Structure 1
Amino acid sequence: MSTPGSIAPGRPETLTKEEEAKLKEFWNTALKVFGVSAPEGSESPSQAPATAEENGDPVTSHTSPDKKKKTLGRLLSRKEKTGAPRKEPPAATDAGADIALDASDDKYGHTKEFKAALASQTPSELRDAFWSMVKCDNPDALLLRFLRARKWDVDKALVMMVATMNWRSKDMNVQTVVGKGEGGAAAEKDNDFMMQLRMGKCYLHGLDKEGRPICFVRVRLHKQGEQSEESLERYTVYIMETARLMLQPPVDTAAVVFDMTGFSMANMDYAPVKYLIKCFEAHYPESLGICLVHKAPWLFSSIWAVIKGWLDPVVASKIHFTKTIEDMEAFIPKENIPRELGGSEDWTYTYVEPTPDENVPLEDEARKNTLQSARGELVRKYESATHAWIAGGEAGEIAAAERKAIARKLATGYWEMDKNLRARTVYDRTGVLLPNGQVDFYGHRKKNAGAVETSEDDID
């Protein structure tokens, strides 16, 4: 277990030279997919393979020595006639079938999603989908999630990232989920979605010992068939997107606690479990810090045997079974464990209904367009600086500092436009998620500390 506040390996602040080279290679390839050309006169980055082994993962070149296989570089190349003006094709590329991946390493059909994205979307659409996914994240940190998840294989990381972008924009339509939010669901009388929020089937509250936000899942509140599968999936993504906004750097993962108190077979439902696993493994890589399964009854052992078979070994290694409050305290301070689980956190989840005017800023198209235009200019500067950083040399060192400064502005800028993009949540209404992106899970403690109890002895 790392020290709270420490920065884990493979992050923007802790990259080795070999890892930084992989990140540059990833950016270079991604920018080609997005149709973002390097400025004229800039040199192509060196693609010399790194050979050092860092942090237990081999940071090596994964290009096949078999010359008959088409590399990703060839996949992304576009044939042009000499002197002919370059025109953006209707799709990013129609050569998606040329990429070769081991089928055994494509658990979630990323290659198919990758091909679909390249065949159906223009480079500018893919670029927009990427920057929409970034939100308040450091762009480097987002790319590094995919690189770490794919053991620093740039080709596989790109396929995974583009597949995720396609899933977010085409399959799940994440922006609509968070844009409509609770207020929209309540107005449309989407009872399946709202029921889960009102009962607190799962809720975000507090921090573990490493400063990770905790999602508590009260399994006993789920009944198979009570909500549609589509609603369960939308609710899962909604919670995960909300949790993303609660990550306070350098913390970049969350903790999940499955409270199995009162569990029976009526609560068992494999479909949402499979979907949650897919989300963590396929579309939110490197987002799970730890998962606790608390007070699982004996009948869960056979169920666990099935579920474990679905899990990637890395994800499975993050799951721990706890029986007592003392077991849980190894991961979460007792004062941060809710009383219903045996801790001393005097707090109970209570759903606060949306207010009629809380999402009015979503309708302010003029302000949204102004803010998006300003963000677009920052994105262009970031991409230009990234090309210079990739090229290296003295200009590359200057560009590296420029990229960091722009990344900070992008994060701040996101929160300036957040209310114009995202419907308010119960966490906004209760003062947990603040307008500037700060998170205060324990505001109730300050209120309680400020309250002075009066006894008979205090009265004259």
Structure 2
Amino acid sequence: MPVDQPPGTVGNLTHEQEAKLQEFWKLALKTFGVKSEETKQSSVSSFNVADDDDKHGQSREFQQALADMSPEEIRVTYWNMVKHDNPDSLFLRFLRARKWNVKKAFIMFISTIRWRSKEIKVDDDIMRNGEALAQKQSQSADPAEKKKGQDFLDQMRLGKSYLHGVDKNGRPICVVRVRMHKAGEQSEESLERFTVYVIETTRMMLPPPVETATIVFDMSNFSLANMDYAPVKFMIKCFEANYPESLGAVLVHKAPWLFSGVWSIIKGWLDPVVAGKVHFTKNASDLEKFIPRDRIVKELEGSENWEYKYVEPQPDENKAMEDTAKRDVLVAERQEIAKEIQDATVSWLSASASKDKEAISLAEERRNGLINRLREHYWVLDPYIRSRSLYDRTNVIKGDGKVEFYPGA
């Protein structure tokens, strides 16, 4: 289905918004260690955000990132984070989240780089090792390792949270079956790992220009035994601090009356913009305002005859990851394309500064071509750096980056 490009996204920027994006790129290139006339005047070392406007302590994380990480480490982490995305789209998420305040957006971005690389290890651990590592850990003789693997796989096998289908706006749907969670059953580390794994897997299912997902919290048969504030707080931090502008709609479905007290607490933790995306639905008719009935699964009283089933990791499904020589060649190719994009961006910034329309057009054409190459190249590299997921096994995520929830439709 055709999807309109929302305001403030690639292809739908005002002149003022494009200028903010260019200012952001100057700061990024400077921080990446790229030397040019366009980045010479940019400085970030004195950036900070007032404490009353720094809910998640990102000024501190920003300064730690600049102290702990080399320019090259920050640069490589960024391009790893981009994956198949448009690098402009990624920056624009941070700018929109901070209402186009470049300084605040950049602090948020760099603190996210540190979080991904140093704290949660998104690309080097969670996505690289995935479900296959959990399966291996679950068979370990070491009780601590065994529990790590079992905790992660239990959540996958239960379908505590799963991805299936798209809403009326083409956004992938993540269903969280709250009744499947019992406080204390899994470690906090395992819950956080699973949460990031689901978010990152959802990112693999965002075909441009779609940039957000819809979450359905299925509250049927909810009891207070299912309530656990720690993972809720972690999820809020993820979406507010590290995955900005990733939520399209949040549907709280069939919440019982006893949830009202819980919601009053959670709502107080939410940024007003995020809280504004939350909608309460009571039945399939309410869900239909967001999701066509034939795409609402029967479990949610829709008409789609689909059920969640977990398919275990298969032998040799990650065989490509053993070919480290091929991986290294592809990684080097990707980094070369990234450097070409950086150079093309410098040309774009220079042409824009001189207001040379012909030079701007040529720079944009070259740059857009390189960005498309980067996206296509990611899917060649992907089998060598990302462990296969349930959605690869069930052929939802295709090898060329296409996503197919409804085969034969």
TM-score (norm 1): 0.84
Distance (whole Å) between structure 2 residues aligned to residue 247 and residue 99 of structure 1:
32
**C-alpha displacement at 1:105, in angstroms?**
1.1
The answer to whether the Cα contact below 8 Å between 1:433 and 1:440 also exists between their aligned partners in 2 is yes
- The residue that corresponds to 2:380 in the other structure is 416
SS in 2 for 1:355: coil
Determine whether 1:10 maps to 2:8: yes
**C-alpha displacement at 1:99, in angstroms?**
2.5
- The residue that corresponds to 1:59 in the other structure is none
Distance (whole Å) between structure 2 residues aligned to residue 122 and residue 261 of structure 1:
48
Structure number with larger C-alpha Rg: 1
Within the candidate set 297, 304, 310, 1:338 is matched to: 297
**C-alpha displacement at 1:377, in angstroms?**
1.4
The answer to whether the Cα contact below 8 Å between 1:4 and 1:209 also exists between their aligned partners in 2 is no
Distance (whole Å) between structure 1 residues aligned to residue 390 and residue 74 of structure 2:
32
- The residue that corresponds to 2:19 in the other structure is 21
- The residue that corresponds to 1:435 in the other structure is 399
The answer to whether the Cα contact below 8 Å between 1:25 and 1:154 also exists between their aligned partners in 2 is yes
The answer to whether the Cα contact below 8 Å between 2:78 and 2:113 also exists between their aligned partners in 1 is yes
Distance (whole Å) between structure 2 residues aligned to residue 248 and residue 241 of structure 1:
14
The answer to whether the Cα contact below 8 Å between 2:47 and 2:107 also exists between their aligned partners in 1 is no
- The residue that corresponds to 1:118 in the other structure is 66
Deviations along 1:362-389, whole A, 9 cap, x unmatched?
A: 1111111111111111111100110011
SS in 1 for 2:173: strand
Determine whether 1:198 maps to 2:198: no
What are the equivalent positions in structure 2 for 1:208-287 lying under 5 Å apart?
Answer: 208-287=167-246
The answer to whether the Cα contact below 8 Å between 1:255 and 1:289 also exists between their aligned partners in 2 is yes
Within the candidate set 168, 176, 179, 2:116 is matched to: 168
Within the candidate set 70, 75, 99, 2:47 is matched to: 99
Residue ranges of structure 1 left out of the alignment (5+ in a row): 48-72, 77-95, 447-460
Distance (whole Å) between structure 1 residues aligned to residue 169 and residue 38 of structure 2:
42
Instruction: State the one-letter code of the partner of 1:204.
Output: L
**C-alpha displacement at 1:360, in angstroms?**
1.3
Distance (whole Å) between structure 2 residues aligned to residue 278 and residue 380 of structure 1:
31
SS in 2 for 1:188: helix
Distance (whole Å) between structure 1 residues aligned to residue 69 and residue 205 of structure 2:
31
The answer to whether the Cα contact below 8 Å between 1:207 and 1:332 also exists between their aligned partners in 2 is yes
Residue ranges of structure 2 left out of the alignment (5+ in a row): 139-148
Determine whether 1:139 maps to 2:87: yes
**C-alpha displacement at 1:44, in angstroms?**
6.6
Instruction: State the one-letter code of the partner of 2:133.
Output: G
Aligned length: 393
Determine whether 1:398 maps to 2:362: yes
Distance (whole Å) between structure 1 residues aligned to residue 48 and residue 151 of structure 2:
42
What are the equivalent positions in structure 2 for 1:71-82 lying under 5 Å apart?
Answer: 73-74=42-43, 76=44
**C-alpha displacement at 1:349, in angstroms?**
0.3
Distance (whole Å) between structure 1 residues aligned to residue 39 and residue 189 of structure 2:
46
- The residue that corresponds to 2:31 in the other structure is 33
Residues 1:44 and 1:99: Cα distance change in structure 2 (over 3 Å): closer
The answer to whether the Cα contact below 8 Å between 1:44 and 1:391 also exists between their aligned partners in 2 is no
Distance (whole Å) between structure 1 residues aligned to residue 185 and residue 2 of structure 2:
40
Instruction: State the one-letter code of the partner of 2:92.
Output: L
Deviations along 1:88-122, whole A, 9 cap, x unmatched?
A: xxxxxxxx4x3332111111011111011100111
Determine whether 1:186 maps to 2:135: yes
- The residue that corresponds to 1:130 in the other structure is 78
Residues 1:122 and 1:339: Cα distance change in structure 2 (over 3 Å): same
- The residue that corresponds to 1:303 in the other structure is 262
Higher helix share: 2
SS in 1 for 2:33: coil
SS in 2 for 1:290: strand
Residues 1:184 and 1:421: Cα distance change in structure 2 (over 3 Å): same
The answer to whether the Cα contact below 8 Å between 1:415 and 1:435 also exists between their aligned partners in 2 is yes
- The residue that corresponds to 2:107 in the other structure is 159
